[in-house]
Amino acid sequence: MNKILILGNGESDLASLIAKSCPNAEQFKFEEYESIDFEAYDAYAFLGGNCEEAKILPAPLRTEFEALRNTGKPVFAEFMRSVGYHGSGNVQKMDHQRLLYREQPVFMEGLFAGDILDGHYNDCCIYDFLQKNLEPILSYYDYLNAHAHIDAKAAKLDKGIPALWLLDRNTLICSFRLCNFNRARFAPIKNWQCVLRYIISFLAGETVSPGFPAPICSFEKNIDIEKPSDADAVVRMGLDWFKNADMLFDNGKGGVKEGLSHHISAKDGLQKLETLVRTDCSGETGGAFMLDWLITGNLESKKIFENLESFCFEYMQEKEGAHKGMLRWTENAWGTCYQDDVARAILPTLLCQNYTESGSRYFGNAVEALHYLLRTTGPSGLRTSCTVASFMDEESEKRYRETDYRITTKAHHNSFYQAALLLAYRAGAPKEFLEVGVKGLTRVMTLYPENERETSETEEMCRLIFPLSVLWQVTGEETHLQWLYRVAKDLERVQHESGGFCEWDTGYRASCSRRENGECALLAENGDPVVDMLYSNNWLPLGFAYAYMVTKDHYFYKKWLEITRFLARCQVHSKDASLHGSWSRGFDVERREIYGVPHDIGWSPCCVETGWTMGEILMGMQFMKWINK
């Protein structure tokens, strides 16, 4: 086995892997190069990936580097601005770009031509003056619309942006940051292991089987959930995440941060924190802590719930004037109002009013918020996706109210709004709330499953379980009960044996299906083994628990057990406190890792949303225990 020199900016995943896999490897920092006897080594790894910028070797070291290449010994250059006569004029951020394995000119065992690899929020040196007839091993492409594999020839793809290639028989160039592949959570893991095995074997001069490090995120696939109390540890991990990841502002008095975006630095693995405060995330998070207090008597959770509820109604609601009652979307979008977000923000307040003796001191505020939405709800009982206060006056309000102006039939935007109206009516709100709630859900279900969709058909079905349960609870009409069972049975068509519900979109009609430069579904092709916990599966624990409460049908209890067991088995376990106890948006149920099409502008597979994902899942997991307490 070759004696390998590792030259870099200190410790990294790749340096450690080479050193552990090759006993003869020795490691130095770039600034130590003058003390190195280069001739004493048989192969060389120049690792620039964990430097602040792409590495430019100082002229003396560069001269040595080129001389080593001329010896015919293996040289690996990672994230270097210049190699041979190739120079990089700029470094490009790789956000929606993905890597594709072409198989020629290099065969990597375990990979097949057309396999896709994701390097997350990476940097790539864009080289000028590349040699003619360059055949990259890996290439970057914009918006590869496939889950994990694509037929490059059928898709008529060119050579893309070179990412990994042989400059000559003994010089291997990697133009992007590979150095901390594990910390940066490159996916799929097995695909990257094939690439790393090839690189290390290239340096070693023989086939090497590296001992790969344990992934940053792991999942306990043997957790079983046979009764509600079995989810206690899962819930505790999830609730603790909010504090351990520093998501709460002043224990909830200032709301909650939005969460973690999908931007993971390839340099050090740090995931970008989204500090924007959203009303819906604050309300939903409050609901998770509310149920912990009601079930366990935890006074700290009670305080967090009260702080978050107070934040939503004291600071994020208009108290007077033309927009009285309006709940603001975010601290930034001060005049924007999404009814779905409002409904989820006030859901804990409505549940508290309906199911506790003390009720909620903010029930009146919740009713005011719904009154404001009713002012711009059309004759069908549906509403446009959002309104902006600066564009609203009496005339425009009248147009929305009387003509169904710009309404959407998506459950994504309307179903929880109708559920909120019905819950408020059940707790004493005017009869108009009942009438509009019934009318809106009736319109959606009259069109179902051909109603409009946001991210997928799966999402529309998941979004309907809870609202239809509330609808039947309030009206007692047999038709409404049949709707609930119809949607639940339809969902079974996309349920994986793991218990999760895979993304599916008949005809790819969803607004976010196969999108670019915007919000984007995780789904590329129906049948992909991908589960979405931002838009779909996250609604189901509460939906199935509520359905069981109102129907007493063990069928829904079983469905709750299945989805809760699945979620317990894909909850993140990690030494990283910002990840431990969380759920990410995308999960590949066959690879059992966080993975999916990463094209969304901010909420791709690795993102963690405090409200939509964490708050909703934790509420649903606890609700079943609460109703059985």
Mean pLDDT of 201-224: 96
Does residue 196 share a domain with residue 245?
Answer: no
CA dihedral defined by 312, 318, 319, 321, rounded to 10 degrees? Answer: -170
Q: What is the pLDDT of residue 131?
A: 84
Which domain-ending residue is among 170, 204, 238?
204
Q: Return the ∠ at Cα 320 (arms to 318 and 325), rounded to 5°.
A: 45
What is the rounded CA–CA span in Å between residue 7 and residue 31? 9
Q: What is the pLDDT of residue 525?
A: 97
Q: What is the pLDDT of residue 489?
A: 98
pLDDT interval class at 516 (50, 70, 90): confident
Mean pLDDT of 89-118: 93
pLDDT interval class at 87 (50, 70, 90): confident
What is the DSSP track for 185-203? T-BSHHHHHHHHHHHHHHH
Mean pLDDT of 593-600: 96
Range from 101-110, 348-357, 453-462 carrying the lowest mean pLDDT: 101-110
Does residue 232 share a domain with residue 190?
Answer: no
The DSSP call for residue 592 is: T
Any domain includes 222? no
Domain CATH number, residue 324 = 1.50.10.10
Any domain includes 350? yes
Q: What does residue 416 show for φ and ψ, rounded to 5 degrees? A: -70, -25
Mean pLDDT of 588-594: 98
Does residue 182 share a domain with residue 235?
Answer: no
Does residue 355 share a domain with residue 285?
Answer: yes
Q: What is the pLDDT of residue 517?
A: 84
Does residue 242 share a domain with residue 182?
Answer: no
pLDDT interval class at 413 (50, 70, 90): very high
Assess whether pLDDT exceeds 90 at residue 181: yes
Domain CATH number, residue 105 = 3.40.50
Predicted confidence (pLDDT) per residue in 525-555, tens digit: 999 999 999 999 999 999 999 999 999 999 9
105-123 as b/e, with b when 16 or more CB fall inside 10 Å? Answer: ebebeebeebbbbbbbbbb
Pairing of strands 586-588, 530-532: antiparallel
Q: What is the pLDDT of residue 473?
A: 98
Which domain-ending residue is among 171, 204, 237?
204
pLDDT interval class at 153 (50, 70, 90): confident
pLDDT interval class at 392 (50, 70, 90): very high
Mean pLDDT of the chain: 96
Q: What does residue 158 show for φ and ψ, rounded to 5 degrees? A: -80, -160
What is the rounded CA–CA span in Å between residue 372 and residue 143? 40
Does residue 316 share a domain with residue 188?
Answer: no
Q: 265 forms bridges with which residues in the sheet? A: 121
Sign for the CA dihedral angle at 27, 28, 30, 35 comes to negative
Under 8 Å CB-to-CB from 536, ≥6 apart: which residues? 455, 456, 458, 459, 462, 501, 503
Long-range pairs of 17-22 with CB within 8 A, sequence gap ≥ 24 = 17/196, 17/200, 17/210, 17/212, 17/213, 18/45, 18/200, 18/203, 20/210, 20/211, 21/200, 21/204, 21/208, 21/209, 21/210, 21/211, 22/200, 22/203, 22/204, 22/208
Higher pLDDT, 259 or 129: 259
Any domain includes 213? no
Any domain includes 482? yes
Does residue 177 share a domain with residue 241?
Answer: no
Let me know: does 35 contact 4? Beta carbons within 8 Å: no
Query: What's the token pair of residue 247?
Result: 């998501």
Does residue 254 share a domain with residue 197?
Answer: no
Q: What is the pLDDT of residue 270?
A: 96
Assess whether pLDDT exceeds 90 at residue 629: no
Q: What is the pLDDT of residue 301?
A: 98
Predicted confidence (pLDDT) per residue in 318-377, tens digit: 999 999 999 999 999 999 999 999 999 999 999 999 999 999 999 999 999 999 999 999
Mean pLDDT of 605-610: 98
Any domain includes 525? yes
Does residue 241 share a domain with residue 121?
Answer: no
| Helix 363-374 / helix 339-355 crossing angle, nearest 10 deg | 140
Nearest to 540 by CA among 621, 438, 626, 455: 621
Which residue in this structure is represented by tokens 């001992």? Answer: 211
Let me know: does 168 contact 144? Beta carbons within 8 Å: no
Predicted confidence (pLDDT) per residue in 228-281, tens digit: 999 999 999 999 999 999 999 999 999 999 999 999 999 999 999 999 999 999
Any domain includes 54? yes
Any domain includes 214? no
Mean pLDDT of 509-538: 96
Which domain-ending residue is among 169, 204, 239?
204
Does residue 232 share a domain with residue 198?
Answer: no
Mean pLDDT of 131-135: 86
Q: What is the pLDDT of residue 600?
A: 94
Under 8 Å CB-to-CB from 479, ≥6 apart: which residues? none
Mean pLDDT of 199-208: 97
Any domain includes 223? no
> Residue 99 is inside which H or E element, if any?
strand 97-101
Q: Return the ∠ at Cα 617 (arms to 269 and 508), rounded to 5°.
A: 80
Q: What is the pLDDT of residue 260?
A: 98
In residues, how long is the chain? 629
Let me know: does 40 contact 64? Beta carbons within 8 Å: no
Mean pLDDT of 33-37: 96
Assess whether pLDDT exceeds 90 at residue 227: yes
Nearest to 160 by CA among 175, 180, 181, 179: 175
Question: Residue 525, class by beta-carbon neighbours within 10 Å (0-12 exposed, 13-18 middle, 19+ buried)?
Answer: middle
Does residue 193 share a domain with residue 235?
Answer: no
Predicted confidence (pLDDT) per residue in 612-627, tens digit: 999 999 999 999 999 9
Under 8 Å CB-to-CB from 355, ≥6 apart: which residues? none
Query: What's the token pair of residue 543?
Result: 């939906």
What's the structural domain count of the chain? 2
Let me know: does 450 contact 490? Beta carbons within 8 Å: no
Single-letter code of the amino acid located at 464 = L
Query: What's the token pair of residue 41?
Result: 């080594």
What is the rounded CA–CA span in Å between residue 445 and residue 585? 27
> Residue 556 is inside which H or E element, if any?
helix 554-569
Query: Containing domain of residue 444, as a range?
Result: 228-627
Does residue 265 share a domain with residue 380?
Answer: yes
pLDDT interval class at 154 (50, 70, 90): confident
Mean pLDDT of 377-381: 98
Which residue in this structure is represented by tokens 């601290």? Answer: 331
| Helix 540-551 / helix 478-491 crossing angle, nearest 10 deg | 140
Q: What does residue 115 show for φ and ψ, rounded to 5 degrees? A: -70, 140
